[in-house]
Structure 1
């Protein structure tokens, strides 16, 4: 999935994103959380990144990767922290970080790129762990509680 977006297309983009995330195998609460995190990043791009941006969603092995690029002037700081309870807004990056397997922010000449990831189980393939043969790809491993 690769799409440009504006404020007028955010809702339709979220619906297409939900369908694509489900089709990629990320369903249930994990799928909902991932879509919510991406939605927060998309709305941040609209509000703070020039009013429009580009979303790219892809699956690489068992990792779902979504990049959101905006075209605004990059701020001096990109805080990934929880705002005070008496402050309206300011929680989008924190939510994206909390709801996904990882959040990366990169500031460039033409704006900011936010990348979030989520682990998707490969049907019929056991997850690979650290110490696997070096020529085999590493897979997402869920935390186990014993």
Structure 2
């Protein structure tokens, strides 16, 4: 998300710190950990924040995207054996549910979108960050442990 901090995103999600979570257990077998689907990582980056979830898809749900995108933009991505997909939300509304791929850009797309597709070809997380208006200086917010682990409240984030 562009323009909001991890603290602001946490507040918008009504999430709480997940300091009691055994992250190693989650990474090894998240299906054995209660509430694993509600635990996400969040990291401040220049110009906004990044939410990650290495074992699930909660960070890519439309409800999460709507909540954090008020007055800003959120581009989410989920990568699994079925492929890549994501949401693009702006000002609290999901405006696109689409495959996350530089190859899916239509030929009549705006110049900036075509350029981004070319620059970030085969670099899907970078493509999403660019779509949200973030310019990460390195991959650590996505590849390394997050700044904090938070627990999402019990609610249907797919709605």
For the superposition of Structure 1 and Structure 2, which TM-score range results when normalised by the shorter chain? under 0.3
Larger Rg: 1
TM-score by length of 2: 0.26
Query: Could you state the TM-score of these two structures normalised by the residue count of structure 1?
Result: 0.28
